Structure 1
Amino acid sequence: MADTAIDYAAVFQALPGMVALLTPELVYAEANEEFLRMSGRTREQVVGRYFFDVFPDNPADPAANGMRNLAASLTRVADSGERDAMALQRYDVESVQRPGEWEERYWSPVNAPVFGPDGSVVLLIHKVEEVTELIRARERSPGDRSRVLEAELYTRGRELQEVNERLREAHAHEREVALALQTAMLPAPNPLGHHRAAVRYQPATEALNVCGDWYDLVDLPGGDRIGLAVGDVVGHGLAAACVMGKLRSALSAASLVANGPAQALDALGLYARSVDGAQNTTAVQTRIDWESHTITYSSAGHLPPALLSRDGTVAFLEQATDPPLGARPEHIPRVEAILGFTEGDTLVLYTDGLIERRDEDIDHSLARLADALTRHRGSAPEPLADALLLELLPSGRATDDTALVILRL
């Protein structure tokens, strides 16, 4: 196996989710099978054609701007060489079988550059999460919405199961494949209105630079609200990276249509039952509402987020913690709690690699985190993230993965 060359074309076609490759001039160079299937196009209708000849804006709807927003994102990535994770977009997609008929679709794109030997951008990776059915579920009754959400997440798990098995066969080349997956699965933080956020992801040095930790930031419907989440899949390497990608995408989509963090984690727990390796994953989901100045949160066995007040005091969000995903033999609705905040406070979400030590009690680990936050009160999210990693991670070899999200409230 070690002497067998990787068939990167086959890996690309097997990637979970819709993925296409574009030239800097926004011409399709390639599209994977899932992209063609979900978009209803054949390879001949896509490859070699200008992106917006394949997917134009609906000329009958002056308010349609999804494709224009996407054009701006792709152009920005081509010019800057920086990855761009877009907020959820509504697109009107013309039917190939019935020209002139347009279908409302909801896609969540991530666009990333591929560099050539001279450092210039030679290709653009365009990855899309199709969440149309989940958004439509909001318009149904609560009972129907829950069933549609559960069915959609279960279907995603079954469709990706074969991909997961095929990727596991490449275990001798875990690092190359899993790093490609993680680049696509972990979004770069977009500006969240006027709110400032910082994210960090640092793998364990013993895990070939791939892991099962994740973070997510998403604009939520219904006013000035956003969702923040972190999670931790058991294990390292390619298998954990595949599970991480599935769970992050599922929780991100669920948070858009759920009534709160507890319901989003409920849906994720049901979905996780269909995903090998997802059992005992921990995760915490939060919803920050600037109109009510509240944080609503729910935790599936994860370490508690920390709220740093402007005066330097630290409160841990630990009043709504249930067991990890799949740890209960029967489904029981999860709990959530609400905590108020003051403008200028800082919310910190993290995974266990940041603070836990094998020879240390967890209370002592949390106390070290609180002390570091207090000493750096007043720091903006970016320098605060750097300071926490510098002070709290072991100076030698890191034995566990770390994901960190910091948001100025």
Structure 2
Amino acid sequence: MRKPRIDYVAVFRALPGMVALLTPDLVYADANDDFLRLAGRTREQLLGRYIFDVFPENPNDPAAAGMRETRESMLRVVATGERDTMALLRYDIEDPQRPGVWREHYWSPVNAPVQDPDGQVALVVHRVEEVTELIHARGGTNGGARARVLEAELYTRARELQEVNERLRQAHAHEREVALALQAAMLPAPGPTGPHAAAVRYRPALGALNVCGDWYDLVDLPGDNLAVAVGDVVGHGLAAACAMGQLRSALSAACRVADGPAQAVEALGLYARFVEGAEATTVVTTFIDWDRRTIAYSSAGHPPPVLAHADGTVTFLDRATDPPLAARPEHLPRPQAHTRFTEGDTLVLYTDGLIERRGEDIYTGLDRLAESVTRHRHAPPEALADALLGDLLPTMGSTDDTALIVLRL
């Protein structure tokens, strides 16, 4: 059966209901026939013009907020790449045939992004349900007092809902800023560690409170040796940031006195039982001995570090994996394994935001990581870290935060 040829321009024009396309600058790019008919404008009056030049706000309504709320909704779509649904909105339209005469309208808008191949928002789909006639009809065929009461009640409730949504957005944004600032203050600054080049990265989740549970650390050990660790707290926002700070500090201290990474992770697991929100945290710790050229490691439920050899082979450090912190009722010693490295090898530690994708097997993400590390293995750590993020993170950002350490051995 032949696949039908579809004229998507004709489909767009014929769509039922009001639909318009705007650029990220909120300039009209197109509008369907229902939008033109119900808005009382021609296509020539819309295309290439700023939305609020075409539809300014009613100057006779001192309580009007439709322009501000519509603009903020559309700009959120451009900034986040996510759909934004607005509450019922009153937005009067000036009669194009009678300047100065404004017609009362009630709208229910939804704004959605259209992304280009690079993941950037190229267009905003502005879909509007015109419900003015419905409101009038519910109050009687000729409007009247009942209609006016219903209109006032719906409009008031819509404004209250919009205000609640705006307060929630502001609280969300404030908590996210505080959590990120707290995490930035607790994580060590990026840069070289002794004579060995290291690069660290942290990428918060995009437009969500699912941030601030990941951490990294580099700890100097006796004999110019080094402990390198990454961890991931289950949780979001300030609570996750606080738990992360406590666990990172505890592990840093444990690494300085423990005989090896297993003992350090074991001590951290005991401590986690008394830290609210620390249950099921994953962490992996490596002790690097430069003289013996060995890496000792121990993992509590964390994705395995990658050791990229100069000859192009890759080893996953996965022979000492145990359940996450405080995940089992009884206390048992943690496992530990060793592997050798040669000068010029690269060690990569990371959190699951780098490799995991919804609906995808974790081994697919690990294979993707191994391929990227191998391809960029000769790059300096800073360039390699950027290349890994570029290869593995979604263009529009991840739904989980990501911590990454790249160390040239």
TM-score range, shorter chain: 0.5 to 0.7
List aligned pairs for 1:62-73, cutoff 5 A: none
Q: Which amino acid in the other structure matches residue 376 of structure 2?
A: H
Specify whether residues 209 and 281 from structure 1 end up closer, same or farther in structure 2 by C-alpha distance, changes over 3 A only.
Answer: closer
List aligned pairs for 1:8-407, cutoff 5 A: 173-189=174-190, 191-208=192-209, 210-221=211-222, 223-407=223-407
CA distance in 2, matches of 1:238, 1:224: 35
CA distance in 2, matches of 1:173, 1:402: 21
What is the SS of the residue equivalent to 2:265?
A: helix
The RMSD of aligned alpha carbons is 1.5
- Offset of 1:218 from its aligned partner? 1.0
- Offset of 1:190 from its aligned partner? 5.0
- Offset of 1:318 from its aligned partner? 0.1
CA distance in 2, matches of 1:229, 1:273: 20
Q: Which amino acid in the other structure matches residue 212 of structure 1?
A: G
CA distance in 2, matches of 1:209, 1:331: 30
CA distance in 2, matches of 1:269, 1:282: 10
What is the SS of the residue equivalent to 2:245?
A: helix
- Offset of 1:171 from its aligned partner? 7.7
What is the SS of the residue equivalent to 2:200?
A: strand
Residues 233-284 of structure 1: per-residue CA shift (max 9 Å, x gap): 0122111011011101110111000110000001100100001110000000
The range that moved more, 233-242 or 336-345, is 233-242
Residues 190-227 of structure 1: per-residue CA shift (max 9 Å, x gap): 53221000000001013348420000001101x13100
Q: Which amino acid in the other structure matches residue 372 of structure 1?
A: S
Residues 355-382 of structure 1: per-residue CA shift (max 9 Å, x gap): 1111211111111100111111211100
CA distance in 2, matches of 1:401, 1:313: 28
CA distance in 2, matches of 1:402, 1:241: 14
**TM-score, normalised with respect to structure 1:** 0.57
Residues 266-316 of structure 1: per-residue CA shift (max 9 Å, x gap): 110010000111000000000000100000000000000000000111100
- Offset of 1:184 from its aligned partner? 1.5
CA distance in 2, matches of 1:210, 1:365: 21
8 A Cα contact 2:273 2:326, kept in partner: yes
Unaligned 5+ residue runs, structure 1?
1-169
Q: Which amino acid in the other structure matches residue 383 of structure 2?
A: P
What is the SS of the residue equivalent to 1:235?
A: coil
8 A Cα contact 2:190 2:201, kept in partner: no
Residues 171-191 of structure 1: per-residue CA shift (max 9 Å, x gap): 884123322311211110353
Residues 8-65 of structure 1: per-residue CA shift (max 9 Å, x gap): xxxxxxxxxxxxxxxxxxxxxxxxxxxxxxxxxxxxxxxxxxxxxxxxxxxxxxxxxx
What is the SS of the residue equivalent to 1:175?
A: helix
- Offset of 1:397 from its aligned partner? 3.6
8 A Cα contact 1:311 1:377, kept in partner: no
Specify whether residues 356 and 296 from structure 1 end up closer, same or farther in structure 2 by C-alpha distance, changes over 3 A only.
Answer: same
CA distance in 2, matches of 1:225, 1:381: 19
Partner of 1:121: none
8 A Cα contact 2:192 2:199, kept in partner: no
CA distance in 2, matches of 1:357, 1:365: 8
What is the SS of the residue equivalent to 2:202?
A: strand
CA distance in 2, matches of 1:368, 1:197: 22
CA distance in 1, matches of 2:173, 2:372: 40
8 A Cα contact 2:307 2:314, kept in partner: yes
8 A Cα contact 2:300 2:322, kept in partner: yes
**TM-score, normalised with respect to structure 2:** 0.57
Q: Which amino acid in the other structure matches residue 309 of structure 2?
A: S
8 A Cα contact 2:353 2:400, kept in partner: yes
Residues 70-101 of structure 1: per-residue CA shift (max 9 Å, x gap): xxxxxxxxxxxxxxxxxxxxxxxxxxxxxxxx
8 A Cα contact 1:189 1:217, kept in partner: no
Residues 124-155 of structure 1: per-residue CA shift (max 9 Å, x gap): xxxxxxxxxxxxxxxxxxxxxxxxxxxxxxxx
8 A Cα contact 2:191 2:200, kept in partner: no
CA distance in 1, matches of 2:253, 2:372: 33
Q: Structure 1 segments of 4 or more deviating over 4 A?
A: none
CA distance in 2, matches of 1:318, 1:258: 21
Q: Which amino acid in the other structure matches residue 335 of structure 1?
A: P
8 A Cα contact 1:179 1:209, kept in partner: no
Identity of aligned residues (%): 73
What is the SS of the residue equivalent to 1:211?
A: coil
CA distance in 1, matches of 2:240, 2:286: 23
8 A Cα contact 1:171 1:238, kept in partner: no
Aligned length: 239
CA distance in 1, matches of 2:397, 2:193: 34
The structure with more radius of gyration: 2
Specify whether residues 209 and 331 from structure 1 end up closer, same or farther in structure 2 by C-alpha distance, changes over 3 A only.
Answer: closer
What is the SS of the residue equivalent to 2:287?
A: strand
Unaligned 5+ residue runs, structure 2?
1-170
